[in-house]
Amino acid sequence: MKKKIDRNTSRSRRLLILLAAVPLLATLLQGCGGSNAAPAGDIGVSQKGERTAGGVLNYGFVGTNKPGGVEGWGFHTGIIQEALEPLGITEIKLVPFQTGPDLNESIIGGRVHLGNSGDTPAILARSTGASTKILNFSNTEINTIFIGLKEIQAPEDLAGQKVAVVKGSLMHRFLVGFLNEKGLSDVVEIININSIPDTEAALLRGEIAAYAITSSYYSAYKLRQQGYPLVAEAREYPALYSTSVVYAAEDYLEQYPGFREAWLAARQQAYEDLIAKPDDYYAWLSEQTGTPVEDIKELQPIEALPDEALAAEGIERVEAAKDFLIEEKLARRDFDVDEWILQP
């Protein structure tokens, strides 16, 4: 004899099953959205409930194609992959971001394990309590430039005008410092445009009077060739030079003892390989960026790449940038830069 099914009980059981599935569904949806970044993937959970990387390194960088510099060359040649494989890292994903602040958001959120960005967004994240560590500098002398409309011939011409920058970026720090230096902070409006192409389009339409960008951008170089004036640059104000840092999520480092040593050894090997093959490097970088080789040599010279992982001048500039951001109340709280750097 078949048992009589209580329809109310059946509905209740289905409801309980559905409710039990909601947290899982929410987790899946959270992993799919909330960021402009490419998905990181392959991050699991251990039996202890800790996040694990599953043998994957998600490396975030600011750009549209592949990273350049020593780190980019290390990935291109396979030097970094070979060095990290003995640690159990068997897959490396290069994840591009439009801006440093976007990259930092993904590191804080656990979607990226290792990142390379300007010092300012990394400092701002650390000042909010982000658990990161600096591994090395990829550049210790970044020159931010300030390009204006053709009628802007002097800083004073900016009074009453709007200027644009990616807020929270190293260019933002330069812009604030420059306007302070010229006594223009109260008469120039800074607006945020979170995309370099959109910023340059706004300049060409006359919607802004000027914008800040690093000197390595080919698009900015072409604007200057077309007669758009250089209003100012960090080279004129050395205290406003910036650095670019490679930093990692602390919980990722804890999963791979020996990561620091393997990474720095690979970086040094990649640097030595790069300087031994300058023509190959410039040809590769030209292909990646769509910039003619002769222009690449001017915009991103090999000589600008640091020959050591943690140069003293880089540490001094990070310290100066941090102090500036705190003084301007752009950074939330102070912290120890020496403690931020991953020590042996």
Calculate what percentage of the chain has a pLDDT beyond 70: 85
Q: Which of 271, 164, 268, 177 is nearest to 213 (CA)?
A: 164
Which region among 27-36, 130-139, 282-291 has the lowest average model confidence (pLDDT)?
A: 27-36
Do 245 and 119 touch, CB atoms closer than 8 A?
Answer: yes
User: According to DSSP H, which parts of the chain are helical?
Assistant: 7-32, 69-77, 79-84, 100-108, 119-127, 170-181, 196-204, 218-225, 250-255, 259-276, 278-289, 293-299, 312-327, 337-340
**CB within 8 A of 236, min separation 6: which ones?**
none
Residue 57 vs residue 20, higher pLDDT: 57
CA distance 78 to 80: 6
Q: Which of 330, 333, 337 is nearest to 175 (CA)?
A: 330
Residue 53's pLDDT band (boundaries 50, 70, 90)? low
Q: pLDDT tens digit string along 255-277?
A: 999 999 999 999 999 999 999 99
Calculate what percentage of the chain has a pLDDT beyond 90: 80
Residue 34, amino acid: G
To which H or E segment does residue 232 belong? strand 230-233
Residue 83, amino acid: A
Which residues are bridge partners to 178 per DSSP? none
Q: Could you tell me the two tokens for 71?
A: 């780190």
**CB within 8 A of 254, min separation 6: which ones?**
none
Structural domains of the chain ordered from first start: 48-142+242-340 (3.40.190.10), 144-240 (3.40.190.10)
pLDDT, residue 54, reads 74
CA distance 318 to 71: 20
